[in-house]
Amino acid sequence: MFAPFSKAYYLGRLYVEPYDGEQAAIHQEHHEQVNELLYATGEGVERLDLPLVMKVGRTHLSVTGDETVPERTLAVPGDVLDAAGVENPPTLREVLLAKGDVAERILGLQDAAV
């Protein structure tokens, strides 16, 4: 689903569509797989529900898992779609997935802003 792109990101193509949820989401199983690849250290029991950080357009999103979201789809609340500059959804878009250290930094900045 994602391929190496830079020191900070992986690149993927997902369908981006409007979503009624409060936070952006991808299919639950994919969310867990990506969590395992990005965050797991291989030591002991590890969480697979940490938020992912994806960049769509000019906006970074904290992304959770949701069983109701179709595979290969990033579901985004409508107001966030507008802020990201996504026009005419659903649409196939390039999406950047932040690597673990970058995601931690971005999530930390978002928490500090609240």
Q: What is the pLDDT of residues 75-92, one digit of tens each?
A: 999 888 888 888 888 889
Going by pLDDT thresholds of 50, 70 and 90, the confidence category of residue 47 is: low
What band does 41 get if pLDDT is binned at 50, 70 and 90?
Answer: low
Q: Tell me the one-letter amino acid at 10.
A: Y
Question: How many whole angstroms separate alpha carbon 15 and alpha carbon 13?
Answer: 7
pTM across the whole model:
0.84
Q: Strand runs (DSSP E) across 1-114, as ranges? A: 2-4, 9-19, 24-27, 52-56, 59-66, 73-77, 91-98
| CB distance 77 to 22 below 8 Å | yes
pLDDT at 102: 85
Whether residue 11 has pLDDT greater than 90:
yes
Alpha-carbon separation of residue 57 from 20, 21, 50, 66 (angstroms): 20, 20, 22, 22
Phi, psi of 23 (to 5 degrees): -135, 150
